[in-house]
């Protein structure tokens, strides 16, 4: 299992870097006009991601037979909170951190969907895989609303952007709650199959589009990073990929929560920095360097940390 997880992570990172080279060429071309870059980000945030979220929630969200189903969305939000708390405590002690909002969001928000989907077949038999995917979906119900409200506010706090009620009505958040409404009420059965297929088709563009944008930000920004620019990314990596999972593992060791609760505590603590951060950052070279460095370092170290902390979890729960 350890080697399989390392191979999975390595392949995932190489995919981002290779496609990122193409992304860098595209983005460098688009930056000749700021409006072009805004259009690319808007395509992801306002069209492809909402289509993906609504179609999947309306079609797949089920709580029948899941004990304490409501606990998993709250756990997802709680992991964001504790990650943010760790970052807040650190920046209170270390006044040298300049990009405090970006720093806090980078430690708080993690990649909680794409990577777990990638390694799930390595961890679970076909019988348990469906159960895990249901829990994964529940865990992420509040992830998108949390990021596109509190997370985006954190990221733009350095520009003195204030949190407003309208921040709760971004397309991804609205799509989440509309999807929940259709799923819980049973209205999803009245949605035409042709329409759902079209939504899923548009939604399927979210992953390649996000990889293109994120990979492009990493590749194009890393070339401009000097030695002094690595300080904050290194601190993000240490807190996000080492301190947080160590604290989570200690909590699990002493408290011993139920197996799947413990699994998602590990997932929430050890996953690398959320790649969506690169899509919503302001067009500022200093900010881009911090985000690109944090993304690259947390992804690279995850080749080791994900297998190690999942193995620790496995030892505690007899896997």
Higher per-residue pLDDT: 76 or 42: 76
For residue 33, the enclosing domain spans 2-317
Residues 306, 270: contact at Cβ < 8 Å?
Answer: yes
pLDDT at 65: 65
Residues 110, 268: contact at Cβ < 8 Å?
Answer: yes
pLDDT at 161: 58
Task: Report the candidate in 243, 272, 259 with the shortest Cα–Cα distance to residue 12.
Answer: 272
Tokens 């297929």 locate to 197
Task: Tell whether the model's pLDDT for residue 5 goes beyond 80.
Answer: no
Mean model confidence pLDDT for the chain = 80
**Which of 45-59, 201-215, 267-281 has the lowest average pLDDT?**
201-215
Q: Record the tokens describing residue 95, joined without a space.
A: 């006044």
Task: Tell whether the model's pLDDT for residue 33 goes beyond 50.
Answer: no
Q: Say which CATH number the domain at 149 has.
A: 1.20.1530.20
CA distances from 314 to 125, 259, 286 (A): 15, 10, 40
The four Cα atoms 241, 247, 248, 251 give a dihedral, to 10 degrees, of: 170
End-to-end alpha carbon distance in the chain: 10
pLDDT at 80: 93
Could you tell me what percent of the chain has a pLDDT over 90?
19
How far apart, in whole angstroms, are the C-alpha atoms of residue 55 and residue 74?
A: 22
Question: How many structural domains compose the chain?
Answer: 1
Higher per-residue pLDDT: 127 or 236: 236
How confident is the model over 156-180, as a mean pLDDT? Answer: 73
pLDDT at 218: 67
**Which of 28-37, 184-193, 216-225 has the lowest average pLDDT?**
28-37
pLDDT at 139: 86
Task: Report the candidate in 78, 67, 206 with the shortest Cα–Cα distance to residue 142.
Answer: 78
pLDDT at 248: 96
How confident is the model over 199-210, as a mean pLDDT? Answer: 81
Identify the helix (H) or strand (E) that includes residue 110. Answer: none
**Which of 29-43, 67-81, 258-272, 301-315 has the lowest average pLDDT?**
29-43
Q: Which one-letter DSSP state was computed for residue 162? A: P
**3-state DSSP assignment of residue 318:** coil
Residues 182, 188: contact at Cβ < 8 Å?
Answer: yes
How confident is the model over 84-91, as a mean pLDDT? Answer: 95
Q: Which one-letter DSSP state was computed for residue 169? A: G
Residues 244, 45: contact at Cβ < 8 Å?
Answer: no
Ordered DSSP codes for 183-242 = HHHSGGGGS-HHHHHHHHHHHTTHHHHHHHHHHHHHHHHHTT--GGGGHHHHHHHHIIII
pTM, full prediction: 0.79
How far apart, in whole angstroms, are the C-alpha atoms of residue 170 and residue 226?
A: 36
How confident is the model over 280-300, as a mean pLDDT? Answer: 82
How far apart, in whole angstroms, are the C-alpha atoms of residue 153 and residue 240?
A: 20
Ordered DSSP codes for 36-69 = HHHHHHHIIIIIIHHHHHHHHHHHH---TT-TTT
- Residues belonging to the chain: 319
Q: Which one-letter DSSP state was computed for residue 113? A: S
């Amino acid at each position: 299992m350890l080697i399989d997880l390392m191979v999975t992570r390595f392949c995932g990172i190489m995919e981002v870097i290779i496609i990122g080279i193409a992304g860098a060429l595209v983005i460098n071309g688009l930056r000749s006009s700021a409006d072009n870059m805004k259009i690319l980000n808007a395509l992801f945030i306002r069209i492809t991601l909402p289509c993906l979220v609504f179609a999947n929630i309306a079609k797949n969200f089920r709580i029948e037979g899941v004990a304490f189903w409501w606990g998993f969305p709250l756990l997802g939000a709680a992991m964001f909170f504790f990650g943010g708390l760790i970052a807040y405590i650190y920046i209170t002690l270390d006044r040298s951190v300049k990009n405090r909002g970006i720093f806090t969001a980078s430690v708080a928000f993690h990649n909680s969907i794409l990577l777990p989907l990638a390694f799930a077949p390595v961890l679970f038999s076909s019988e348990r895989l469906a159960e895990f995917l249901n829990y994964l979906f529940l865990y992420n119900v509040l992830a998108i609303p949390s990021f596109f409200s509190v997370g985006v506010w954190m990221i733009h706090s350095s520009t003195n952007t204030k949190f407003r009620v309208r921040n709760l009505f971004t397309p991804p958040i609205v799509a989440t709650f509309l999807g929940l409404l259709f799923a819980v009420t049973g209205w999803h059965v009245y949605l035409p199959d042709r329409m759902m297929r079209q939504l899923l088709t548009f939604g399927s563009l979210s992953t390649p589009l996000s990889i293109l944008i994120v990979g492009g930000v990493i590749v194009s920004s890393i070339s401009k990073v000097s030695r002094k620019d690595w300080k904050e990314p290194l601190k993000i990596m240490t807190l996000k990929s080492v301190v947080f999972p160590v604290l989570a593992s200690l909590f699990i060791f002493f408290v011993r929560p139920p197996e799947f609760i413990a699994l998602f505590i590990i997932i929430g603590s050890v996953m690398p920095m959320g790649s969506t951060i690169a899509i919503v950052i302001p067009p500022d070279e200093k900010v881009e360097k911090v985000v690109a460095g944090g993304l690259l370092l947390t992804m690279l170290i995850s080749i080791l940390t994900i297998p190690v902390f999942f193995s620790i979890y496995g030892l505690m729960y007899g896997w």
